Amino acid sequence: MREWQSLAHVKWECKYHVVIVPKYRRKTMFGHVRKRIGKLFQQLCRQKEIGLIEGHVMPDHVHMLLSIPPKFSVAMVVGYLKGKSAIQIHREALNVKQGFTGKHFWSRGYCVSTIGLDEQMIRAYVRSQEESDRQEDLFNQ
């Protein structure tokens, strides 16, 4: 059964698979803050009432299954998540106190697709990413 959300004048179910990567896709830089990223995204999504249904932080990218209310655009949500998380990462992990202009953590782009009727398949895909990444790393060594 589908779980429809509602706002004042709308019933909706808008779910998106979003993938974002750090600048230059460096695994070493991302490894220092990997554990903090998940909690940070959960906190940021709660602030905007965005549903973080499923998520997985890989060494060089992040997969998220987001439920975004129709009052927000996908671009606004991804920009908000990337911008606020980059500031927090620079504050906590890189010890930058002010002057965030010109500081980059995330790459400029992102990948997004709508979920539609394939939600269970996408959720399984997001969950299985770490195992497939491990196998790929073993193969490339």
The tokens describing 43, both together, are: 């906190």
Could you list the beta-strand ranges (E) of the chain: 5-7, 10-12, 15-20, 51-57, 62-67, 111-114
Query: Which member of 16, 80, 110, 125 is catalytic?
Result: 125
Separation of alpha carbons 47 and 88, rounded Å: 15
The amino acid occupying position 80 is Y
Q: How distant, in Å, are the alpha carbons of 12, 19, 40, 43, 127 from that of 84?
A: 26, 16, 9, 11, 25
Active site residue 125: yes
Residue numbers annotated as active site: 125
